[in-house]
């Protein structure tokens, strides 16, 4: 099939590359000329396992094209995917300016029937707005062209997006138009061979499904962090509690790990957007408001533990920080807990020596010119002259360090473990002072 993707951000790149990998002719459009030029050379601006190779393979095969030519993009695809960003506005609502700009572009250049597919995470009712904008532009041109607007939300995990796309848990298609549904069924047939993963519903339900999924996961994280903070004050160990409740099949083990808070481009933005949507229809979403409030507080927990350990005297101290990305296997630092931690340490007069396998360069740009921020290219180089170690992201290479060497290089054998990677008893036996999240030691 001939497909056009508007937007070469995270979702657009993965979507376009994976459709091309299954033999479709994919035309990706973006207004950023430098980005398009780099992508056309096979240079991928994000870190996502497996994505770069797929893009390069399909560039060579000719099935994947990157361009700034929107008119050519509209002409190319029978299916036109909108995969541009929907960042949070000042009031927390999703900014639809990019989505509606693409809708105007489609209306401007459309000559033959098209199916417009909302892939971006958008508020309920966005498909109606896209339809109105396209129709308005067509009317202004004085032409009549048949088109439909469908919701087909993505459910990609950063760090596992290629696998998620190629082997999806579910494929949600939101439309009441049988022809549009058949087109999408045909497009997704190669991804739907083992068993039927297609879930058909109306457009508005599909739009809400995406938000509901992210908010449900964010709620589990915030609830677990709330329980962890309570466990500390009760002398309980949240890791034991996690195993106890996770064994219940009604709960399971996914997304019940206490830590330093969630971040990234999805959960924070989508929780805020759904709260705003609720307000717009006169409903107070109390639980959703609490999810966001707990997460913002949780991002400050590590900093509070550090300050308490040193009696609030952080000026002149140096801290090794392992992990900058909001989760492993990505270079995404948007809303990452590491930013809250580092900002607090620097404001208190401390210095940081940081390392991340993928996100170091991205974070270094944020702190460019800051003499108290040092980016290290090797994990253990952060330990030199450091007063303590702070673990913020659970990358695999942080799981089993040589604690004897670590102890020898730190000025003081103290670890602040924001992801509960280590065994407190084992570290205590080695002579470390250990602070986890919800491990029975009050902040």
What is the set of active-site residues? Answer: 266
The β-bridge partners of 248 are: none
Pick from 230, 233, 218: nearest CA to 271: 218
Alpha-carbon distances, residue 407 vs 42, 386, 404 (angstroms): 43, 11, 5
Instruction: Decide: helix, strand or coil at residue 146.
Output: coil
The answer to whether residues 111 and 75 touch, using CB atoms and an 8 Å cutoff, is yes
The H or E element that residue 171 is part of is strand 171-174
| CA-CA-CA-CA dihedral for 407, 408, 409, 414, to nearest 10 | 30
Say how far apart CA 441 and CA 439 lie, in whole Å.
Answer: 6
Say how far apart CA 139 and CA 408 lie, in whole Å.
Answer: 73
The answer to whether residues 40 and 56 touch, using CB atoms and an 8 Å cutoff, is no
Q: Which tokens go with 296?
A: 């913002």
Residues 6+ apart with CB under 8 A from 354: 320, 321, 322, 324, 338, 342, 360, 363, 373, 374, 375, 376, 382
Instruction: Decide: helix, strand or coil at residue 319.
Output: strand
The H or E element that residue 118 is part of is strand 114-118
Say how far apart CA 133 and CA 150 lie, in whole Å.
Answer: 14
The answer to whether residues 80 and 106 touch, using CB atoms and an 8 Å cutoff, is yes
Say how far apart CA 146 and CA 149 lie, in whole Å.
Answer: 11
Tell me which DSSP letter residue 351 carries: E
Instruction: Decide: helix, strand or coil at residue 150.
Output: strand
Say how far apart CA 61 and CA 70 lie, in whole Å.
Answer: 22
Q: For helices 267-280 and 286-298, what crossing angle results, to 10°?
A: 150
Phi-psi region of 335 (alpha: psi -120 to 50; beta: other; left: phi over 0): left
Instruction: Decide: helix, strand or coil at residue 374.
Output: strand
Q: Which tokens go with 433?
A: 């002072």
């Amino acid at each position: 099939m001939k497909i056009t993707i508007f937007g070469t951000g995270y979702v657009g790149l993965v979507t376009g590359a994976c459709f091309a990998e299954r033999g479709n002719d994919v035309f990706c459009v973006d207004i950023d000329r430098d980005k398009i030029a780099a992508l056309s050379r096979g240079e991928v601006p994000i870190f996502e396992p497996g994505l770069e190779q797929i893009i390069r393979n399909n560039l060579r095969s000719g099935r994947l094209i990157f361009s700034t030519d929107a008119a050519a993009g509209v002409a190319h695809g029978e299916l036109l995917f909108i995969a541009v960003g929907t960042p949070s506005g000042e009031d927390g609502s999703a900014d639809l300016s990019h989505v509606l700009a693409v809708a105007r572009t489609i209306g401007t250049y459309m000559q033959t029937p098209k199916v417009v597919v909302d892939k971006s995470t958008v508020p309920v009712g966005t498909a109606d707005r896209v339809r109105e904008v396209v129709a308005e532009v067509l009317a202004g041109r004085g032409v009549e062209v048949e088109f439909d607007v469908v919701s087909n939300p993505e459910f990609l995990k950063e760090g596992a997006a290629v696998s998620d796309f190629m082997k999806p848990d579910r494929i949600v298609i939101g439309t009441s138009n049988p022809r549009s549904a058949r087109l999408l069924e045909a497009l997704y047939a190669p991804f739907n061979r083992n068993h039927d993963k297609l879930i058909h519903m109306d457009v508005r339900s599909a739009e809400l499904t995406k938000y509901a999924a992210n908010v449900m996961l964010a709620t589990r994280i915030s609830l677990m962090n709330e329980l962890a903070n309570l466990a500390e004050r009760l002398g309980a160990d949240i890791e034991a509690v996690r195993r106890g409740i996770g064994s219940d099949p009604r709960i399971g083990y996914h997304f019940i790990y206490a830590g330093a808070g969630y971040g990234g481009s999805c959960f924070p933005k989508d929780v805020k957007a759904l709260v705003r949507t609720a307000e717009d229809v006169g409903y107070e979403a109390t639980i959703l408001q609490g999810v966001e409030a707990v997460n913002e507080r949780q991002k400050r927990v590590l900093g509070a533990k550090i300050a308490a350990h040193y009696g609030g005297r952080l000026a002149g101290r140096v801290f090794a920080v392992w992990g900058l990305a909001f989760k492993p296997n990505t270079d995404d630092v948007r809303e990452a807990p590491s930013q809250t931690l580092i900002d607090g340490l620097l404001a208190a007069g401390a210095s940081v020596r940081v390392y991340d396998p993928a996100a170091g360069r991205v974070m270094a740009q944020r702190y460019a010119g800051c003499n108290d921020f040092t980016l290290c290219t090797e994990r253990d180089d952060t330990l030199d002259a450091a007063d303590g170690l702070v673990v913020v992201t659970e990358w695999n290479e942080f799981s089993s360090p040589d604690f004897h060497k670590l102890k020898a290089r730190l000025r003081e054998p103290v670890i602040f473990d924001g992801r509960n990677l280590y065994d407190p008893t084992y570290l205590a036996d080695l002579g470390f002072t250990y602070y986890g999240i919800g491990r029975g030691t009050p902040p």
